[in-house]
Structure 1
Amino acid sequence: MTSAVPIQLPAYLPYLNLVTDIGVVLAHTFSLVPMSHLIYSAMFNRKILVGESLHPSIIVFLLLHICFTSIILPYHLYIIIKWIPQSNYNPNVLFWTGIWACLYFLLSSASVFILTLERCLAIIFPLQYKPVIRKFYTPLSVLFLAVLLIVFITLSLLELPLDVIKVRNCQTFTCIVSKRMNELIAIVKFTFGALNIIQMIYFLNKAQNLHQQSDRLIKITLILEIAFNTVPIIFYYFITMVTGVSPANYTGHVVALLFALNVAICSVFYSKTFVRKSGKYLFSRSVASAANTLAQ
């Protein structure tokens, strides 16, 4: 790794960051509507669903996004409200609000991996899936996500107390925390990113034999995750390795926007697939059959 050198940022960058931060808030706020509607329909109004119900893994996937999207909005709103061309944010506020945004960033990739892995297991072990795998998969998935949450929060708290002087110019959570913490975040993110890419390759190899709409749902979810979440973070840490400087203050905003767009697109995609709205969305029998397959 090269030694850190100061990077001269263009004058327009603060304004560009403001626009991307506004886009993040709009995208996350938008995604709450279809996802919340899906969960509400699954619990209280199943007659408007294409299938009989939503698969438990999909419910976990949606609930995770709903909860964390709501929790992280104060972080992005704080960045917007306190914005000035040469922003000096309160490091403590950034830490206590940004910790959830970073955690969501990690858990989202884990949730895609969990959602996809179950479908892979159902394809590879069709006889064992219903009597064994399906029975324990969702509880174990929730436990796994809970362990990740607890470990991340614990390690984040070890960053306290913050060196306020050292991080006084930071504009993102990843800029505030130590190099070791950023390396841990990178390892976790790369691990789930690599696993999702492997699962994507598996689905592409099986494409000729997988004709269920449920399999197409998984493939599209993986494509969005890799394109909007995995590739940008690889580029982010590549810059860090080459320059020796964390690019959090000038590329972190774009990474956050791409992540928010990924969530928003997925929310629309799942809503159009599983919610029946006469006169607005038209669903074919194949889609209805696929929804029932996911619920089995």
Structure 2
Amino acid sequence: MKQFPTDRLDALFQAILVNDVVDARVDLPSAIRTDYPAAHLADGFAISAQLWREGFDRTELLAFIDRLRRGADMDQTDQLWFKHVRAKFKHLRFAFVLYGADHSCPRLFKSITTSMGLLQDAFRNGRQDAIGRQSFLLKLMLSRPMLAWLNREVDRIRLDTGAGFRDFTTRQVATLRETLSQPTLNGHRFHAARKIVSRQVSFHDDMRTIHPAPEHLIMSRYLSAINGLMGRYHDELVLRHALGELDYAHEQFALPADIRHRLERVATLYP
């Protein structure tokens, strides 16, 4: 698998760190490209895998989890460190779905990123029971045999072709268009739409780093704005659910006008 210099890894991670920042000044290109050579897709997976492998220390991560489990105080530096580690895991999770021939993430890797997110929410909200549960699960999933298995999954991935990637992207956009065709949606559909946006941000972050072109930077920044707006709205929905004002999983709700407008513009420009 191709290896990239440190400055490319740093550039990719800097792009990831702003993938939910809203920049109202960025507009879309006149058309959105979906045809990419297989070599570009292989590079996208390779840099995502390298960022993950070189982006965390297992011993340090387990020590952090132990400190959380014991109820140690975590300052903003600690929280930011864990957020950055989780971001590298999430980026590789997106890469599995984007570039793999079956467009799915290995179950164990998906479980780890999910557990890391639940742990992050738990220590932000002071829920010690959830911290204990997720800490236990993460320690099991980050054992040496499990990580060795994950590395083998990375090494033996079967990458998609350019045509396969185009078809996958077309199906994703079709799902997004179907969602937008309805005046309201539930939590599941909202989450699915947000994942589509997040994966496309991830793709253009990869491409702007290793195959720079103005279209990738523009798409990354425009989609990042949508990602950020949807993330903030998700937090509002979760709060309303906690207050008993909304059944997030089943009740229908309308997308805010700004999010809908931006999504519709994107969906219109894809072939």
Structure in which a larger fraction of residues adopt helix: 1
TM-score normalised per structure 2 = 0.31
TM-score by length of 1: 0.29
Mark the structure with the bigger radius of gyration. 1
